[in-house]
Amino acid sequence: MSDTRTGDTAAEGLEEQAIRKALSSAPRPARPSPLSAVMTFGWRGILKIKHVPEQLIDATMTPVLFTLMFTYMYGGAISGSTGEYLQFILPGILMMSVLFTTVYSGVALNTDLTKGVVDRFRSLPIWRPAPLVGAVVGDSVRYLVAGTVVIVVGTILGYRPEGGWDGVLAALALTIVFSFALAWVFTTLGLIMRSPNAVMNTGFMALFPLTFLSNAFVPPETLPKGLEAFVEVNPISFVVTANRGLMNGTAEAGDILLVLGTALLLTAVFVPLTSRLYRKK
C-alpha cells in the first residue's frame, strides 16, 4: 500500500515537472483571421468524415436509388422511354440528391450543441460565426460526393449531356453553391429544434414537397393551373431550370442569376439568424 503510494507520488512529481516544462512561455499568437478559423472548422468536418466514412452512405446510396427508381419506374409512363426520361430528370435528380444532404448540416449542429466542446469554441477569441461557416464548408464535401455519384450513375445508365461535360460541371458547381445557402435554413432549424431527430424530420418534411412540387420530374405544363403557378415560383424549380440549361447547353444568364440571387437572399437572411441564435444558446 505505502509502496504504491510512493510510486504514485514520484510519478506525479515527474508529471508536474513535465507539465511545467510544457507550459509555453512563447508570446500569445495573433488571433487567426476569419478565413483561417473557417478553414480550420472545415478541416474538422472533413476529419469526422474520415473517421466515420459510413456516414457518407446516405450521400452515396440515396442518389443511386433515386436515379434508378425514377428512371425505370416513371420513364416509360412519363416520357415513353427510360432513356428519354433520364435526359429530362438527371438535372433534377442532381439537385434533389445534393439538397437532401443539406439537412445533415442542421442535424450535425444540433448534435454538436449537446457536447461540451462548443463551450470551448465559444470561449476562443475567434470570429464568432466561424464554427458554423466552417461546418457548412466541410459539409460541401458531402454535396460534392452526392452530386458526383448522380452524374456517374446517370452516365452509366446512358445519360449524355448535350451541353458537354463543362455544362455538367457548371451545374454541379451551381447546385453546391445553392446547397451552401440552403444549409443555413437547416442550421437555423438545428438551433431551434430540441433533438437531431426533430431537425431531420422537419427538414425532410419541408424538402420533400418542395422538391416534388417543382419542374424536376414532370413538365409543369401538364399540371393543374394552381399547381403550375406554384411550381413556377418554387425556388427549387429555379435550380432545376438552370441545371437543365447548363447540361443541355441552352443556359440563359437570367436563369443562373436567379439561382445565385435566391442563394444570396437565403444567405443574407439565415446566416445572421443562425449566428444570433448560436450566440444566445
Partner 1 sequence: MSGAHELAIEAEGLGKSFGETTAVDGVDLSVRKGAVYGMLGPNGAGKTTTIRMLATLLRPDAGTARVLGHDIVTEADAVRSVVSLTGQLASVDEDLTGRENLILIGRLLGLGRATAKSRADSLLDAFGLTEASGRLVKNYSGGMRRRLDLAASIVVTPELMFLDEPTTGLDPRSRNQVWGIIRALAEEGTTILLCTQYLDEADQLAEGIAVIDRGKVIAEGTPSQLKSSVGSGTLHVRLLEPGQRQSAAEILDRELGTVKLESDPSALSVACDDADRGAEAVAELGRRGVAIAGFSLGQPSLDEVFLALTGRPVEEDESSTEEVEAA
Residues contributing to the site for partner 1 (CB under 8 A):
8, 12, 15-16, 18-26, 28-32, 36-37, 40, 43-44, 47-48, 51-52, 115-117, 119-126
Say if residues 274 and 252 touch (Cβ distance below 8 Å).
no
Decide whether 125 or 224 has the Cβ nearer to partner 1.
125
Least distance in Å: CB of 33 to partner 1?
9
Decide whether 24 or 222 has the Cβ nearer to partner 1.
24
- Please give the Cα distance from 173 to 151 (Å, whole number): 13
Decide whether 51 or 225 has the Cβ nearer to partner 1.
51
Decide whether 41 or 217 has the Cβ nearer to partner 1.
41
Least distance in Å: CB of 100 to partner 1?
22
Which residue is listed with cell 440563359? 252
Q: Give CA separation, 256 vs 139, 214, 216, in Å.
A: 23, 17, 16
Decide whether 43 or 165 has the Cβ nearer to partner 1.
43
The DSSP symbol for 146 reads H
Decide whether 28 or 225 has the Cβ nearer to partner 1.
28
Residue from 52, 46, 89, 51 nearest 67 by CA: 89
Least distance in Å: CB of 31 to partner 1?
5
Least distance in Å: CB of 6 to partner 1?
13
Which residue is listed with cell 426533430? 198
Say if residues 218 and 138 touch (Cβ distance below 8 Å).
no
Angle at 263 between CA 259 and CA 265, to 5 degrees: 115
> 250-279: b or e for each residue (b if 16 or more CB lie within 10 Å)?
ebeeebbebbbebbeebbeebbebbbeebe
Least distance in Å: CB of 112 to partner 1?
9
Angle at 192 between CA 236 and CA 133, to 5 degrees: 65
Least distance in Å: CB of 27 to partner 1?
9
